[in-house]
Amino acid sequence: MLDELKIPWDEAQSEAWWERAAAGLLSPAETRIWQAYLASCDPCRREWEALTSVERILRTAPAPPRVADDFTQATLARWQQSAARATVSRWIGILFLTLIIVVELAWLGHTAFSARHLLDVLFAGRQVWWEALTLMWSSFLVSWQALLPVALTIALLAFLWYMPNGLLVTAGLLFWTRHRAGTR
Amino acid sequence: MKSQIEWDAQHQEWIRLAQQGNTEAITQLVSTYQQSVFNVCYRMLGERAEAEDAAQETLIKAITKLHTFNPERPFRPWVLRIASNECIDRIRRRRPSVSLDALGENGAWEWQPGKSPLPEVELLRREREAQVRSLLQHLSPLDRLLVSLFYWEGLSYAEIATVTNLTIPAIKSRLFRARRTMARHLNQEAAHA
């Protein structure tokens, strides 16, 4: 029958045809072709019937149960609890960071011995910064605090910022070594 | 009865006030969208207790992130998007388990007086519910979400696109493939029966 209607088999079984047929988008002529296709193919007809059943099952599925009467109140109570927890965590975080900054400044002050010298140290004293950061780094390594990753990142960033010459020298040495190895 | 325009204006006002932290407006938004969010979670997770938990988590996230919501855009797809992310995360984290929600002591569902008008009606409803759940479990979380939004939440293709970040042709195609997958499983079940 498909041959009589001159329908290519591949086209009739393509997903596009199935999709259009399922969505009811076939023209009357195409519907006849589609029906002929289904009549000529038992597995396809069975699948088509199952597809129709699925559509019916989904369309007539029972509604999910209603939420409990106290659902809104329970949600709001849970939200308030989580908001309170978040506030406490935020303040603890701020406290720890403040503590770190204060300790570091105190250490710098102690190292510089005088308040006047402290400003110079803060803006120009790489050596003192480096000592303070190394000490902070090693003390965190020993005490293994919860904020260790944060402190290490800050220390590493500060190290990268304040030690560009050392990095440049290291990178230069590496480049020179590889270049020499390559030319041999 | 309020007209749609009045309701929309009221709704916009709730969102505006909720973004400023007004508890009454937040309560209104939660009570308006809780059932919709729960329905999507229930269809995706298949368990009432977990769906309620996921729905509450979704609504809390929505309240917390409300300042990032653009009031000129529709609220429902936005909140359902949070729900879908929450449910997909839970499905990924989930270990294989058996739901004991509807089972009695001997492993069969038991009718309880006062909870349903007629045991036959309740039994039929449960059978249909189980059939839907069984069909949905053959789908990926994303396809389950698409089916749920399209068939039971009545979202348009454009709204589904907002929720899922998919294009409309992709949604149509995925929905069709999901139906076809379910049809094949239905056929297999019939053959086994």
With an 8 Å Cβ cutoff, the interface of chain A facing chain B consists of: 15, 18-19, 22-23, 46-47, 50-51, 53-55, 57-68, 71-72, 74-76, 78-79, 82-83, 86
Domains of chain B and CATH, by start? 1-93 (1.10.1740.10), 112-193 (1.10.10.10)
Domain boundary assignment for chain A: 9-59, 89-183
Structure tokens at A145: 């605090």
Percent pLDDT > 90 in chain B is: 59
Find, among A85, A88, A108, the residue nearest to A158 by Cα. Answer: A108
Compute the distance between CA of residue B174 and CA of residue B137 in angstroms, rounded to an integer. 16
Q: Mind telling me how many Å the CA of B132 is from chain A's nearest CA?
A: 7
pLDDT for residue B28 is more than 90? yes
Q: Using CB atoms, pick whichever of B26, B131, B187 lies closest to residue A57.
A: B131
> Please, what is the Cα angle at A39 between A33 and A42, to 5 degrees?
130
pLDDT class of A7 with cuts at 50, 70, 90: low
Half-sphere exposure of B82 (CA within 13 A, CB side): 24
Closest-CA residue to B136 (of B57, B54, B39): B39
Instruction: Please identify which residue in the block is written with the tokens 């440049």.
Output: A168
Question: How far is it, in rounded angstroms, from Cα A62 to Cα B43?
Answer: 11
Average confidence (pLDDT) over B159-166: 93
* CB of B144 closer than 8 Å to CB of B44: yes
Greatest CA separation for chain B: 58
Percent of chain B clearing pLDDT 70 (strictly above): 87
**The pLDDT of residue A118:** 61
**What span, in angstroms and rounded, lies between the C-alpha atoms of B142 and A172?**
52
Average pLDDT, chain B: 85
pLDDT higher than threshold 90 for residue A124: no
A50-59, A148-157, B150-159: which range is least confident on average?
A148-157
Taking only the tens place, the pLDDT of each residue in B84-107 is 999 999 998 876 554 444 444 444
ipTM: 0.78
Residue B183 touches chain A, beta carbons under 8 Å: yes
